[in-house]
Structure 1
Amino acid sequence: MSSINEVVTTLRSRLAPPDQALSTAPPPEIASRPLRRAAVLLPLFEAEGLPCLLLIRRAPTLRTHSGEIAFPGGSVDPQDRDPVMTALREAQEEIGLPPERSEVLGLLSPSFTLVTNFWITPVVAFLPAGPGPLTPQASEVAEVIRAPLPALADPRIFHSEVWDTSGLRRVVYFYDYGPYRIWGATARILHQLLSILEESTAQ
């Protein structure tokens, strides 16, 4: 996980192809819920010789998930041809990341938010030229976070808990990265990404 080239090569071979973004159905236990489809972008880039990941801290004035750590993203709009387009569009709107800077590597498994009923498609992208200058939309984003992958993968910042919510028993992940607590859907998505990279390293 110390080389961006190794990270990108691994993810190219392990992620679902982007054209499967519309074909993954929710499991039976949540399929009957009024699902709201969304997508997020996981932008990877190199900084100071390390592979890094962009996250955001949501504005404290938002009605839901205010102040939480997240990936740039949002709801699928009717004009979006697929969740990949949603993720790229939302990243541009939220943090000013131009879509042409992103080379989409593939998809992680969708994640479900139990309280808000979002069915989220995580889109992983590589930024060969880096993120460039970013302009966060103040009404939605309080801060852009550039986190090195090796720091996020440090087992000392991770723990999990088992929660029982609305009759559903689930594992909740937590990453305490510096002053930030990453949890919920963002932590589940991050855990997926790191697990793929760690499994590749162990082989």
Structure 2
Amino acid sequence: MSGPAVLSSTLLSLRSPLTRQALDTLRTALASNDAPSRHPVSDVNGINASTGKQGQAAVLLPLCNVNNIPGIILEVRAKSLRSHSGEISFPGGRIDDEDATFLDGALRETQEELGVPRENVEIIGKLWPAELNLRGNMRVWPYVGFVHPEHRENALSLRPDEPLPSVNLASLRKDRSQDEVAAVFQLPLSELVSPKRLLPHKFRDKAQYWAIDVTDLVHEADPESVPLEAASAESLPDEVGNGRGERILVWGLTGWYLSLFRDRLDTLAMSDR
């Protein structure tokens, strides 16, 4: 497992706003893990007839700029939800009959939960292999996209090195589904390598990865609607992402997919040496 000092690269800055050039670099890095043997259920584009839609879910790892800071949008699930309440997650959920592909499901759920129209999301890749949930009855398909504040085609006129427009985090919080999402916050990309945030952990007690402490970010987002006790209860299953003790962590399946994304960034750093 690589240490927190990795990811120093001239190919992609973790502190400068994302640009079209940066997205192209990420698109190439994500494509490098796209071998057919790592697609355990479906092809790249979606659902095949032999698999069907039962037992399938999809999530979006939503990259964005906020005040020219590059990062990832994360949610705190509402406490009223029957499963994984108070936990950290990406937008996403079960595939419905109306979804033609896994990606359609991820984009539909993103719009329902965050109010982000699908035309504002520019898909740049995916994080295979898709893992089963903790119960083993659902496979969760993770996609990576950049969230534009307006229709994604409006950014095509920008120079390759020009910062992409920032989303308004306050608007996302206002437009979120309050029935499903308690709080919305941005995890800056630079924090993916911050030693003070990273804790070694094991996914399903097997593969090593870094869990991420986001206690301060969650409480800054909405200190009243997300009590620390609700989000950090150790009795919650290690599935989406919750906490330990007095800390709120991104771990479980959400933390694992963030780890796969970090691995792609590691690959960029190594190719730049």
Matching residue's letter, 1:58: R
More strand by share: 1
Asked whether 1:159 is paired with 2:227, we answer: no
Q: Which residue of 2 aligns with 1:182?
A: 250
Tell me the TM-score normalised to structure 1 length.
0.82
Q: CA deviation at 1:16?
A: 4.0
Matching residue's letter, 1:69: I
* Partner Cα separation in structure 1 for residue 147 and residue 132 of structure 2: 26
Of residues 131, 139, 152, the one that matches 2:179 is 139
SS of 1:155's equivalent in the other structure is: coil
SS of 1:79's equivalent in the other structure is: coil
Q: Is the 8 A contact 2:29 2:265 kept in 1?
A: no
Residues 108-154 of structure 1 deviation map (CA, whole Å, 9 limit, x = unaligned): 11122223633111111112334453211111110111121112331
SS of 1:87's equivalent in the other structure is: helix
Task: Check 1:131–1:83 CA distance in 2 against 1; reply closer, same or farther (3 A cut).
Answer: farther
The share of aligned pairs that are identical, in percent, is 34
Of residues 106, 110, 123, the one that matches 1:87 is 106
* Partner Cα separation in structure 2 for residue 199 and residue 66 of structure 1: 34
Asked whether 1:43 is paired with 2:58, we answer: no
Aligned residues: 190
Q: Which residue of 2 aligns with 1:100?
A: 119
Alignment root-mean-square deviation, CA: 2.7
Task: Check 1:164–1:87 CA distance in 2 against 1; reply closer, same or farther (3 A cut).
Answer: closer
Q: Which residue of 1 aligns with 2:30?
A: 15
Q: Which residue of 1 aligns with 2:46?
A: none
Of residues 81, 90, 95, the one that matches 1:76 is 95
Matching residue's letter, 1:77: D
Of residues 135, 139, 156, the one that matches 1:119 is 139
SS of 2:72's equivalent in the other structure is: strand
**Is there any run of 5+ residues in structure 1 with no aligned partner, and where?**
27-34
**Is there any run of 5+ residues in structure 2 with no aligned partner, and where?**
1-13, 42-53, 150-165, 217-247
SS of 1:122's equivalent in the other structure is: strand
Q: Is the 8 A contact 1:152 1:177 kept in 2?
A: no
Of residues 185, 191, 196, the one that matches 2:259 is 191
Asked whether 1:2 is paired with 2:21, we answer: no
Task: Check 1:139–1:14 CA distance in 2 against 1; reply closer, same or farther (3 A cut).
Answer: same
SS of 2:144's equivalent in the other structure is: strand
* Structure with larger Rg: 2
Q: Which residue of 2 aligns with 1:32?
A: none
* Partner Cα separation in structure 1 for residue 131 and residue 88 of structure 2: 16
Q: Is the 8 A contact 2:29 2:267 kept in 1?
A: no
Q: Which residue of 1 aligns with 2:244?
A: none
